[in-house]
Structure 1
Amino acid sequence: MEHFDTIVVGAGVAGLTAARLLARDGRRVAVLEARDRVGGRVWTDRTDGLVTDLGASWIHGVTDSPVAAAAAAFGMRTAEFTVGGYQPDSRPIAYHGPDGERLPDADAHRFAADIHDVDATLLDVVAASAPDASYRDVTEAALARQAWDAERVQRVREYLEHRSEEQYGAWIEDLAAHGLDDDSIDGDEVVFPEGYDRLPQQLAEGLDLRLEHVVSHVRWSADGVVVSTDRGSFAADTTVVTVPVGVLKSDDLVVEPPLPEPVAGALGRLEMNAFEKVFLRFPTRFWDDGVYAIRQQGPESRWWHSWYDLTSLHGTPTLLTFAAGPAARETRDWPEGLVVESVLAQLTRLYGDRVEQPTHVHRTDWQGDPFARGSYAYMTVGSSTADHDDLATPIGGVLHLAGEATWTDDPATVPAAMLSGHRAASNILGRDIPIDEVWSN
């Protein structure tokens, strides 16, 4: 049985960051990855000759972002595309009312102002909420303070439902009241026209990577760890496990002895979401000029409510929409053609016979991916923000968990993954490591 100083389970950004830092310190490190590629939930598709990021797409705020710094050091080209946490305004948005007609600018501005008013109220409501309050509970309390008519309340209520789904892939009643506490953006948001996967590829250079090694057991004790895979077992003094929450909670990966508190409790209060992307490329750009997003209100917006214009990234007319929360679950087993028909039916409400059939469609299925079981984790009702960091509590001096779900300040992001891998490496080495060692030569 091969023996290493550290075994890292998972070659996503968290695992690669930890492995890179430990290897730079002279440790003998092996990275075991179930897939045939690095990156995990950072995955870029180029099969149609264009770049499509099926997993992570954005850096949500480049100010003081380690990922932005790493991307710059690795020479990764970026393009500004600020979405601002499902923002109601500040970028050109074409709002369409329940009848499908585009709202006049004055009406759109009033609607955005209503959202800002509710958000201001929400700060106090969330702070005073009960431990078992849902995001629905606090948003309803904030709406009740506005003294608006039923129609006005309903339009904002829909928006808040959509925000819960689009930010965390969860229905508003399933998300904890504090589930959007981290919903803040510092600086421009950017995407990668040449693909986000350049980041994990650069991080992986020089590492001992064992691809297509599916880990089934992690046995830990004071003497070290034994990691079992479908290609044999490996021993190490320490291990960093970076698999998503969905895999960690499944029967496919057994940790023995079982995870202790507070790790086990934190894991039990986090869940993987249902959040899928649908990219549609068209022969021509039939939608509004001068907007970066299209949104519709009313009952028809229950599933398909927002489309983002990605045309500027590659010059090909492209819209991105999301199946999130209930929509992602209910359409999961639909054939692609039926999903496209459903999306186009809503676009036709807005643009009539101008709508064309797409030339290419990319549709993700992170829910069906056995090595992800969802796109990212969210806080269920009864959880607290501390659960993220508690999940990363070192175990027995030998077992460390890392990944986007284990970072409190900005969970569900690539920076969170990178920072958690950096923390795990620092804990193993017993000293603080400058974060820029992740990308420096």
Structure 2
Amino acid sequence: MLDTIVVGAGIAGLTAARLLHAAGQRVVVLEARDRVGGRMWTDRTAGFSVDRGASWIHGLTGNPLTGIVAELGLETVEFTVGSFQAGGRPIADHDEARQRMDEAATKRWLDDVETADALFQQAIADSGDDESYADAAERTLAGTGWDAERADRVRQFYRHRTEEQCGAEIEQVAAHALDEDAIEGEEVVFPGGYDAIPHAFAAGLDIRMGTTVTAVTRSASGVRVDTDSGAFEAAQVIVTVPLGVLKAGAIAFTPALPDAVAGPIARLGMGAFNKVFLRFPERFWPDGVYAIRRHGRAGVPWHSWYDVSAVSGRPMLLTFAGGDWAREIEQLTDEEIVASVVDALRGVHGDAVPDPVAHWITRWASDPLALGSYSYVAVGSSHDDHDALAEPVDGVLHFAGEATYGHEPATVHGPLLSGHRAAERVLGTPLALTGLTRELDPSS
């Protein structure tokens, strides 16, 4: 019998499996996909890297990924706008009439966000778990005394913030949902592809690809994990599938999960957040601009385009669809989505926008092995639900993944740390988070 079965070869599962294997355990990783990485997925079919899943390290300071990237010698490019900032980097802001805002107008906009954010923090502090981000935003804006257009510009910014940060509508997100949303240090992206990290972690591990887990049964003797390729038995199991898969009941747990774990699964939200990359024959936007952004009602549904040319080496823009719009575009054809994005861009840059020569579009909400992009604190839930989801069940069943790490959900380092925590709980002893990039002996 195995010591531990790990379900899922994303960053959480690979981290846990690697630490347990290094500690001398017999570990098998069961992965339904034909690749490792989960929601870290780099597409290299065009001859350069397109990260369809995770793209950023959100804050290099104090981040465990920073040392791992250095150990692996991965190339990075600074790109500090991943946390949906109002400013901080050169952004070409356009007003409701779609005109480029001059320096004075941009300063007024940034001052308004700073003023509103200070009031917003107090409004959030006064909110309960049953209040939404929208509730707190409206109280904030009502207290400013601003005219309708000025207030609506900030309102739309807050709406887009929750769409991008949570993959959900502002009315669905709890007022406290973004409490942990603080970035320490610069953010970076990867010209060579982010999935170099999970591939390095996977080296030397026993990973069974194309193996879909359907049931987990707990007993006095340990656990049995049923798959479409047969059953596996072990003393313990770590389940790292996305929250969307857990919410859908795709894995049957016997006995049923206790309320202490089932409750958080039900209460937390699973957001939808999709990427649309467009490659153009030539650059038409200003040099030195990190992003093009439309404000107010003009920024619906497409509001921000990020210059990722430094990653691809080609003229490329990346835009996002979050929340309800992300789910809507998944029902459209690629051609319809591209036409919609290009039409919005031409509303800013007119005929200077050529037809794109290539595109890449994600559809995470309809991916049966993800059923969403990442978790968020929905109205009625709290950050405590993330960590409660990770509490061991009967001493043999553990959960890990970004949805289980309350301090840093919806990141890559969050699930890495959750895998570390799960491995420590399996072994019942503290573990140093080192050696993850060293290849293991597959015969050991």
TM bucket by the smaller chain? over 0.9
The alignment status of 1:395 with 2:393, answered yes or no, reads: yes
- In structure 2, what is the equivalent of residue 79 of structure 1? 77
SS in 1 for 2:426: helix
- In structure 1, what is the equivalent of residue 217 of structure 2? 219
- In structure 2, what is the equivalent of residue 172 of structure 1? 170
- For normalisation by structure 2, the TM-score amounts to 0.97
The alignment status of 1:244 with 2:242, answered yes or no, reads: yes
The CA distance in 1 between the partners of 2:191 and 2:82, in whole Å, is: 19
- Which 5+ residue runs of structure 1 have no aligned equivalent? none
SS in 2 for 1:173: coil
Contact 2:129 / 2:176 at 8 angstroms: preserved in 1?
A: no
The CA distance in 1 between the partners of 2:85 and 2:223, in whole Å, is: 46
Give, in angstroms, the shift of residue 104 of structure 1.
Answer: 1.1
SS in 1 for 2:100: coil
Contact 1:222 / 1:397 at 8 angstroms: preserved in 2?
A: no
Counterpart residue type for residue 120 of structure 2: L
Residue by residue, what CA displacement relative to the aligned partner does 1:375-397 show, whole Å, maximum 9, x if unpaired? 11111101111111001001100
Residue by residue, what CA displacement relative to the aligned partner does 1:266-304 show, whole Å, maximum 9, x if unpaired? 111112111100000000000122210000023231110
Counterpart residue type for residue 58 of structure 2: H
The CA distance in 2 between the partners of 1:383 and 1:106, in whole Å, is: 41
Counterpart residue type for residue 83 of structure 2: G
The equivalent position to 2:311 in structure 1, one of 310, 313, 321, is: 313
- In structure 2, what is the equivalent of residue 117 of structure 1? 115
SS in 1 for 2:434: helix
- In structure 2, what is the equivalent of residue 355 of structure 1? 353
Give, in angstroms, the shift of residue 154 of structure 1.
Answer: 0.7
Counterpart residue type for residue 131 of structure 2: A
SS in 2 for 1:218: strand
The CA distance in 2 between the partners of 1:438 and 1:143, in whole Å, is: 47
- In structure 2, what is the equivalent of residue 22 of structure 1? 20
The CA distance in 2 between the partners of 1:438 and 1:31, in whole Å, is: 16
The CA distance in 2 between the partners of 1:431 and 1:425, in whole Å, is: 9
- In structure 2, what is the equivalent of residue 153 of structure 1? 151
Give, in angstroms, the shift of residue 440 of structure 1.
Answer: 5.4
Give, in angstroms, the shift of residue 213 of structure 1.
Answer: 0.3
The CA distance in 2 between the partners of 1:79 and 1:88, in whole Å, is: 20
Give matches, 1:161-240, under 5 Å.
161-240=159-238
- In structure 1, what is the equivalent of residue 326 of structure 2? 328
SS in 1 for 2:423: helix
Residue by residue, what CA displacement relative to the aligned partner does 1:335-363 show, whole Å, maximum 9, x if unpaired? 11111111111111111110011111000
Contact 2:304 / 2:320 at 8 angstroms: preserved in 1?
A: yes
The alignment status of 1:417 with 2:412, answered yes or no, reads: no
Residue by residue, what CA displacement relative to the aligned partner does 1:152-190 show, whole Å, maximum 9, x if unpaired? 101110111011101111000000111111111001101
The alignment status of 1:41 with 2:36, answered yes or no, reads: no
The CA distance in 2 between the partners of 1:390 and 1:311, in whole Å, is: 41
Give matches, 1:72-111, under 5 Å.
72-83=70-81, 85-111=83-109
Contact 2:56 / 2:187 at 8 angstroms: preserved in 1?
A: yes
Contact 2:49 / 2:311 at 8 angstroms: preserved in 1?
A: no
The CA distance in 2 between the partners of 1:105 and 1:332, in whole Å, is: 38
Give, in angstroms, the shift of residue 315 of structure 1.
Answer: 2.3
- In structure 1, what is the equivalent of residue 442 of structure 2? none
SS in 1 for 2:92: strand
Runs of 4+ more than 6 Å apart: none
The CA distance in 1 between the partners of 2:256 and 2:60, in whole Å, is: 38
The CA distance in 1 between the partners of 2:221 and 2:117, in whole Å, is: 51
The CA distance in 2 between the partners of 1:205 and 1:303, in whole Å, is: 42
Contact 1:73 / 1:440 at 8 angstroms: preserved in 2?
A: no
The equivalent position to 1:59 in structure 2, one of 57, 60, 77, is: 57
Using a 3 Å threshold, how does the CA distance of structure 1 residues 139 and 222 change in structure 2: closer, same or farther?
farther
The CA distance in 2 between the partners of 1:303 and 1:339, in whole Å, is: 11
The CA distance in 2 between the partners of 1:123 and 1:437, in whole Å, is: 40
Q: CA RMSD in A?
A: 1.1
Aligned length: 439
